[in-house]
Amino acid sequence: MFALPQNVVNFIQAFKKEDFQIYLVGGAVRDILLTKDQEEVGDNWDFATNAKPEEILKLFPKGIYSNKYGTVIIPVETGHAPSPDKQTLFEITPFRKEWEYKDLRHPEKIEWARTIEEDLARRDFTINALAYDGEKIIDPFGGQKHLEQKLIVAVGDPDKRFSEDALRLIRAIRFASELGFLVEDKTRESIQKNAFLITKISWERIRDELFKILASPNPAEGILFLRNTGLLTFILPELDVCFVIPQKSPKRHHIYDVGTHLVMSLKHCSSKDVITRLATVLHDVGKSKTFRRDAKNGLITFYNHEVVGTQMVKKIADRLRLSKKQKDKLVNLVQHHQFTVTELQTDKAVRRFIRNVGKEYLMDMLDLRYADRVGSGAKPTSWRFELFKKRLIEVQKEPFKITDLKVNGNDVMEILNLKPGPKVGKILNSIFNDVEEGRVKNEREILLERLNKIKRRDA
């Protein structure tokens, strides 16, 4: 019915020849049905079988069996261009009755199921409870219909399924964001009802799902789903409260509350980097704690919100168990997001900005700023912003350090007939300042001439 890559067909055949049942399951089946194009499915192939781990290993001695749920990982050649002998990993798991009930309840001993139907009944959502054996689709819960309707629907009784494994609460939102689907009413109501159960899940697992939401094609919708289901209160309470912080006030350009502004910023963030996206959706969290409204004129202010926000994202980074590098980037982007973009800035100020943000994060910072602008309802670009970007490049061509000057202490001593001493440093410093402020160019001829001028003046 659907053409499968040759290596997948061969793999299935190897089991069928020994009279084992074998099915493609999970994301691969979903993707085949959605795209109907195996090229786009990539190399993410999961299988379910009635063979036991030992029997699988007999067929594929190179397989690695290390987990207590019976999954065997088998290296297989991809068999297609551009590198036909590159290896990919097939995962194959015996039909099972129990899922890994993450953090809520660990089944002591895994029980195998006899049939694929029994196995599918233990899976989370109908669109994930589909199997394909190369000839027919097994679809006991209407997964194909829900794929067409673009709906995430829990398999069986949603309350029961979410209390078995609370990670499914956020997985529902993750699949909705990745696929551009909605969550079906009963499943959604059950997520709302059971949202508090997410507190039983480890932060590492929550972070992994949150990052998949942020990396998806619909990250802004994902955050709104988290908010509307009540999950956000448990995952990012700092962001959740922002939706009740107004910022519309006289003489200000804002049209959204802080939370909506943050989500709109995320929507317009052109970076694909997860940390930049996280920084974008958190950049104004400090506003919830710095909100002030002037009693007389109604003016709203958020003084030092980036300072307060920096402290807040440090805590968030620790909570989500970010790596040191990820935390450093997140904190840096939030801390410096309030930079001014004006043609009146000196080169020195622009350079200081680059030094503060660090060259490494400069492009991400600009992506955040662009998102911030558009997420406030402004038009995508302004001449000021374009000019600023040009200056960032220009200014980096100029020296940052005194040692980058095209003249050095020896030149100073030679031309001015000086012995080593503080005077040499003073003269170099004044030249450095002139170059940094843009009064003279950092070209050797020009700087030598300047030294000669000092000599004539001092003579």
Q: Does 46 bind ligand ATP (CB under 6 A)?
A: yes
Does residue 327 touch ligand ATP according to CB under 6 A?
no
Least Å distance, CB 347 to Mg ion, is: 51
Choosing from 14, 20, 21, 27, the residue that interacts with ligand ATP (CB under 6 A) is: 27
The residues facing 183 across adjacent strands are 152
Which of ligand ATP, Mg ion, none is residue 388 near (CB under 5 to 8 Å by kind)?
A: none
Q: Which is nearer to ligand ATP, 124 or 436 (CB)?
A: 124
42 or 377: CB nearest Mg ion: 42
Cβ-contact 266, 277 below 8 angstroms: yes
Q: How many residues does the chain have?
A: 459
Q: What are phi and psi of 436, to 5 degrees?
A: -65, -35
Crossing angle of helices 274-282 and 305-319, rounded to 10°: 130
User: Could you say whether residue 207 binds ligand ATP (CB under 6 A)?
Assistant: no
Looking at the Cβ atoms of 128 and 177, the one nearer to ligand ATP is 128
3-state secondary structure of 169: helix
Give the phi and the psi of residue 100 in degrees, each rounded to 5.
Answer: -80, 100
Answer for the pair 145, 129: CB distance below 8 angstroms, yes or no: no
The option from ligand ATP, Mg ion, none interacting with 309 (CB < 5 to 8 A, set by class) reads: none
Burial of 182 (0-12, 13-18, 19+ CB in 10 A): middle
Quick one: what does residue 287 bind among Mg ion, ligand ATP, none, with the CB cut-off 5 to 8 Å set by partner type? none
| Rounded least distance, CB 278 to ligand ATP, Å | 19
Which parts of 116-175 interact with ligand ATP (CB under 6 A)? Answer: 123-124, 128, 165, 167-168
Q: Which of residues 22-61 bind Mg ion (CB under 5 A)?
A: 27
Render 248-315 in DSSP notation, one character per residue: --TT----S-HHHHHHHHHHT-----HHHHHHHHHTTTTHHHH-EE-TTT--EE-TTHHHHHHHHHHH
The answer to whether 194 contacts ligand ATP (rule: CB under 6 A) is no
Residue 167 interface partner, choices Mg ion, ligand ATP, none, CB cut-off 5-8 Å depending on type: ligand ATP
Contact 285, 330 (CB under 8 A): no
Q: Which is nearer to ligand ATP, 26 or 286 (CB)?
A: 26
Among 15, 23, 95, 99, binds ligand ATP (CB under 6 A): 99
- Residues in contact with ligand ATP by CB under 6 A are 26-27, 44, 46, 99, 123-124, 128, 165, 167-168
